[in-house]
Structure 1
């Protein structure tokens, strides 16, 4: 029944069905676990004072910088289906440490534990989501990604709805601390999906390329073994990015996205901090925003994402979010109040999750595997956190100059305009790369 629905309604081909279902469940579990924890992170960040948020962004950047070479070193030495469970189970172990400490500490020590958790979850989010999409970009071809990534992303949206709802409903029942354990269960379920998904990716690729599944694995292992560079290739992501105008364009797109997101984050922190006094009320508000975002995201993914990406193309899809961002910041500039903030956040984040994130991940299906595992990880983590860091410093500086929330919002409008131009260029660049690859394939076929 499910197979027929996927094939007839959602354009999933028969040999792709198992991989798509497992990818959907994997993303569901991953984001359910994260969104259980996300409202707790936001509340813990505010508990230490809004004025201290900028330096926590700097701490997150430093932690990310330290983790990039470690991840690259691991990517050199472990196959993807081995590496991902290691990453997630290490995160589960660390989460259990936070759970124990949260029950033992109080007062100022508890505030510092909250700050540590804030940085930890921010880094975890970057790496966990990045390697998920790297895994998928490596498993699905470019033509498959345009049809299927929106559907897979819907699994994450559904998981985010469930995770945010769990926090909103259970925070007063079992307490904030014990939600750590619930999140850990979902992360372990994600590990089980990875273990099964690897086999289905190999089988699907064998059918696509008309070769034996064993040969698919041998080719991947031989390619991974050829990766060279400092720390076993761990630092190659920087060089690969700097040598490629295409990867630099993706970096610029993500950097400006992160910069605008940080401006909006601080607008949100200030407005919600003023609107709510208790920690529980703030955490509940953050959870409700997450649920609203992901309900709209899920509806968009199920009804519109695939159609929009196929009909509009990647470039036009990528420019949607900068347009929404410019309009939203202009609205905040006129009226920096809670209602405008919530509407802007919901529309912006939903369009990002439903349309822009799948479209941006599609950009990586036209690069080499080494670029996916190294350059992509560098871009998704360090470049993204670099935008965070600059955005937090800029917002803090503008605040110190005496600008209010409305005036700072207007500063972000032209930044969104430049961001949109980069998105248009990336769409055109990818189209030309795909056409060149297809032409090369046709030439080889004719020659043979």
Structure 2
């Protein structure tokens, strides 16, 4: 415990909060990653030429959910609402368990693919929004690395359970294990609420989320939020292109479902293992020394190099190397940096804009990019050329990261200067 406090420069209270947040994220990601390889295989089973429909379905469901979430956030205090949302998703998992036992079908598999995509984005967005409530910008720079490592540990633990338990309990019973792990994550969320309320550093009042478009209205008034929205749109576009290329390459390379599932499991294990190492030993130092500008640019740079490589050589090993580098650096460096951008916002800005960006823009970008990829593939019929066409998108994404990092540094420097002035006046 003393060793952890010294490595990450934590106070005693910060250690208690960070530990609970670490375990909360660990069980949350364990729950999700048990099911992720199954979802990816279901997407291929549904047909690689039909995946854009799955992404469009995910986007449509998100548009339906956001107004409901906004209404609830406006009416119910966050510390009461968030655990109930997790209970709702646990109930969903149990319902899928029953339906797969009674009437398994391709339509049900497609519904599960869409549901898990929504679940992943929604619950992780809630996790990071909650942490942005708990910690200041200065604390986030020190704590988001080790907290993110909790998710990476879970992202390793989940696939290991899926790999070694599926032969013993069957695919359907993995849903029960996932539901149990999500229930444990909910208990740590409740524990985190109690600890933060006891320290009296967080005021859990209702957030003013008026409608699905409130986040859009806020973005129109703020250059900073516009830049965040553009950054996420470019990120999800690049990621979707890479995901669709993966589907085509793996579908052509492997004929059996078992081989494809093994590839997905191996990929996740490598990605999450590298991510864990980076989060424990690099993230905090990188954010502190290199700064947020470089942190936001490094993954787009990997994307540029990755698409150039795939444009020259469409092979499983090339895809695997690109995915491992892209996703591990995204989880360890870029994701904490992106979440750091929201720490300086008001509750109103945070829960309206972040909710809109993490759902409508993220999944809308998925859907649009999916159709764009499908159209290009039908028109060009060459993954090599499509890879090269994705390079300029990744380059614009990198420049956007540079711009938004500069804006964030200017905002935080101004806030820090204002705080020093207030302290000096009080001292006088």
TM-score range, shorter chain: over 0.9
- How far apart are residue 14 of structure 1 and its match? 1.4
1:134 to 122, 129, 134: 129
After superposition, the Cα gap between the structure-2 partners of 1:228 and 1:47, relative to the gap in structure 1 and judged at 3 Å, is closer
Distance 2:34 2:278 in 1: 22
Query: Alignment partner for residue 197 of structure 2, among 173, 197, 202?
Result: 202
Q: Structure 2: how far apart are the matches of 1:87 and 1:29? A: 16
Matches of 2:282 and 2:71, distance apart in 1: 39
SS in 2 for 1:30: helix
> Does 1:414 pair with 2:388?
no
Cα-Cα RMSD: 1.4
Secondary structure in 1 matching 2:290: helix
Q: Which deviates more, 430-439 or 343-352?
A: 430-439
Inter-partner Cα distance in structure 2 for 1:285 and 1:175:
19
Structure 2 regions of 5+ residues with no counterpart?
none
- Tell me the equivalent position of 1:355: 333
Give 1:52-71 correspondences, 5 Å limit: 52-71=50-69
TM superposition score normalised by structure 1: 0.92
Distance apart, 1:174 and its partner CA: 1.7
Aligned with 1:155 (options 150, 153, 169): 150
Q: Distance in 2 between matches of 1:270 and 1:183?
A: 29
> How far is the alpha carbon of 1:358 from its aligned partner?
0.4
Provide the C-alpha distance between the structure 2 equivalents of 1:48 and 1:169, rounded to a whole number of angstroms.
Answer: 25
Separation (CA, whole Å) in 2 of partners of 1:79 and 1:153: 25
Contact 1:61–1:382 (CA under 8 A) maintained in structure 2 = yes
Question: How far 1:47 moved relative to its partner?
Answer: 1.1
Instruction: Show the counterpart of 1:167.
Output: 162
> 1:284, 1:174 → 2: CA distance?
17
TM-superposed deviation, 1:228? 6.8
Deviations 1:48-97 (A, max 9, x none): 11111011111111111111111111111122221111111111111111
Runs of at least 5 residues in structure 1 that lack an aligned partner in the other structure = 207-215
Once the two structures are superposed, the pairs formed by residues 78-93 of structure 1 within 5 Å of their partners are 78-93=76-91
What's the counterpart of residue 113 of structure 1? 108
Aligned 8 A contact 1:85 1:191 in 2: yes
Per the TM alignment, residue 36 of structure 1 is displaced from its structure 2 partner at its CA by: 0.4
Q: Which residue of 2 aligns with 1:9?
A: 7
Instruction: Give, in whole Å, the separation in 1 of the partners of 2:116 and 2:71.
Output: 22
Shift of 1:169: 1.8
Q: Give the structure 2 partner of residue 316 of structure 1.
A: 294
TM-score scaled by length of structure 2: 0.97
Identify if the C-alpha distance between structure 1 residues 228 and 144 changes in structure 2 by more than 3 Å, giving closer, same or farther. closer
TM-superposed deviation, 1:372: 1.4
Name which of structure 1's ranges 111-120 and 170-179 shifts more when overlaid on structure 2: 170-179
Q: Tell me which of 333, 341, 344 is aligned to 2:311.
A: 333
2:252 corresponds to: 274
Q: Quick one: structure 1 residues 204 and 423, their matched pair in 2 at CA, closer, same or farther if it must change by over 3 Å? A: farther
Contact residue 70 and residue 210 of structure 2 kept, 8 A = no
* Conserved? CA contact 1:16–1:204, under 8 Å: no
SS at match of 1:56: helix
